[in-house]
């Protein structure tokens, strides 16, 4: 049994509704890594999800009930269940949820017309708004989310080792969340204090200082939308971490941005500016989702449930493990 480990963090987006959101993705990544590397993934990879959705769930439930009344609880529960299954790649669940989108009114919901679309707005747009505004609105949302990622990183340090190379997969808003966290982690090493809740979750090891961060995979990412808040589209994350080469001189890190042109949430990142072109190794164009859903914006939930997305990632990690 090998003692060499790679650490992998998976960060979900707004579509998640359940702590098993990454179960299928981790299984697929493990299967493909084992096939390509010739080593059981259980011996070489330590995979850890960062489940930040609970930070926003109380507010979402309160808002939904105040808009639709207490009688909306049953419908919201059904939609949450379908979203959970869809985030794990269930086409039937996605179709079932989508089939209710045209319902204008249901008994007991008062003036909350188009309840499914309202639920979608509360969960998808609501998470993004609450996260973005949580840095200065007194809610502490931003700090709580960062603490969730810090907790997962600390778990990886304990299981994989404090010097283990780190790969991060961020889907949808999870790419924004993880980019912010890794950016803040690097800034902390340069003297800018990390959010106190996040700092409290971390030990003092190279991986927990971000120094072993080498591979970044953004899937269906809206980072371009976030970048437009800054002049010249801002300064992107540096991948790998500047200290990565010193810790793991035989490794070659990369930032691969995976996007489907039919997914209106995602986009290429390299065209944003020279800085983004230098930071992002590749904008990888893919087609995700079963036909005909893969030809529509409903492709968005499928990225890390698709072998065509996971296989190249597994291959890169297999090569990295053999260079350890």
pLDDT per position as a tens digit, 62-98: 666 666 566 666 666 777 777 777 777 788 877 877 7
263: Cβ contacts below 8 Å, ≥ 6 apart: 220, 288, 297, 299, 300
> Looking at residue 17, what is its pLDDT?
55
Q: Which two tokens stand for residue 25?
A: 């993705």
> Looking at residue 18, what is its pLDDT?
65
Domains present along the chain, CATH in parentheses: 6-55+140-322 (3.40.50.1820)
> Looking at residue 21, what is its pLDDT?
79
**Arithmetic mean of pLDDT, 161-182:** 96
Q: Judge if pTM exceeds 0.85.
A: yes
175: Cβ contacts below 8 Å, ≥ 6 apart: 11, 13, 218, 219, 220, 221, 222, 223
Higher pLDDT, 106 or 216: 216
Condensed to tens digits (0 to 9), the pLDDT of residues 218-260 reads: 999 999 999 988 899 999 999 999 999 999 999 999 999 999 9
Task: Give whichever of 37-41, 66-70, 78-82, 131-135 has the largest mean pLDDT.
Answer: 37-41
> Looking at residue 229, what is its pLDDT?
85
Would you place residue 9 in the very low, low, confident or very high pLDDT band (cuts 50, 70, 90)?
very high
Would you place residue 1 in the very low, low, confident or very high pLDDT band (cuts 50, 70, 90)?
very low
Q: How far apart are CA 302 and CA 311, in angstroms?
A: 14
To the nearest whole percent, how much of the chain has pLDDT over 70? 85
Q: How far apart are CA 197 and CA 201, in angstroms?
A: 7
Query: 32-36 long-range contacts, Cβ below 8 Å, gap at least 24?
Result: 32/307, 32/310, 32/311, 32/314, 32/315, 33/314, 33/317, 33/318, 33/321, 35/314, 36/311, 36/314, 36/315, 36/318
> Looking at residue 15, what is its pLDDT?
63
53: Cβ contacts below 8 Å, ≥ 6 apart: 12, 16, 17, 21, 127
Q: Which of 35-39, 131-135, 208-212, 293-297 has the lowest mean pLDDT?
A: 131-135
Condensed to tens digits (0 to 9), the pLDDT of residues 101-123 reads: 767 766 656 666 777 777 777 76
288 sits in the region (left: phi over 0; alpha: psi -120 to 50; else beta) called beta
């Amino acid at each position: 049994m090998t003692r060499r480990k790679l650490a992998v963090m998976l960060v979900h987006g707004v579509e998640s509704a359940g702590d098993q959101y990454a179960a299928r993705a981790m299984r697929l990544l493990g299967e493909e890594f084992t096939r390509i590397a010739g080593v059981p993934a259980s011996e070489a990879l330590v995979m850890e999800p960062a489940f930040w959705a609970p930070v926003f769930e109380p507010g979402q439930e309160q808002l939904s009930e105040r808009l639709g009344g207490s009688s909306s609880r049953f419908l919201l529960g059904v939609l949450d269940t379908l979203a959970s299954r869809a985030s794990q790649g269930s086409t039937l669940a996605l179709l079932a949820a989508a089939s209710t989108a045209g319902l204008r009114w249901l008994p007991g919901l008062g003036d909350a017309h188009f309840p499914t679309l309202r639920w979608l707005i509360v969960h998808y747009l609501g998470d993004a708004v609450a996260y973005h505004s949580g840095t200065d609105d007194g809610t502490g949302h931003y700090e709580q989310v960062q603490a969730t990622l810090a907790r997962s990183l600390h778990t990886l340090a304990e299981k994989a080792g404090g010097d283990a190379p780190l790969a991060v997969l961020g889907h949808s808003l999870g790419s924004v969340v993880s980019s912010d966290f890794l950016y803040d982690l690097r800034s902390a090493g340069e003297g800018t204090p990390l959010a106190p809740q996040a700092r409290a979750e971390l030990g003092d090891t190279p991986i927990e200082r971000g120094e072993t961060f080498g591979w970044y995979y953004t899937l269906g990412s809206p980072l371009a939308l976030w970048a437009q808040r800054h002049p010249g589209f801002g300064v992107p994350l540096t991948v790998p971490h500047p200290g990565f080469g010193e810790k793991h001189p035989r490794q070659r890190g990369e930032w691969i941005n995976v996007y489907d042109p039919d997914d209106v949430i995602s986009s290429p990142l390299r065209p944003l500016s020279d800085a983004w072109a230098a930071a992002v190794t590749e904008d990888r164009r893919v087609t995700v989702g079963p036909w005909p859903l893969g030809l529509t914006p409903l492709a968005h939930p499928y990225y890390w449930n698709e072998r065509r997305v996971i296989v190249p990632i597994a291959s890169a990690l297999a090569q990295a493990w053999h260079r350890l």
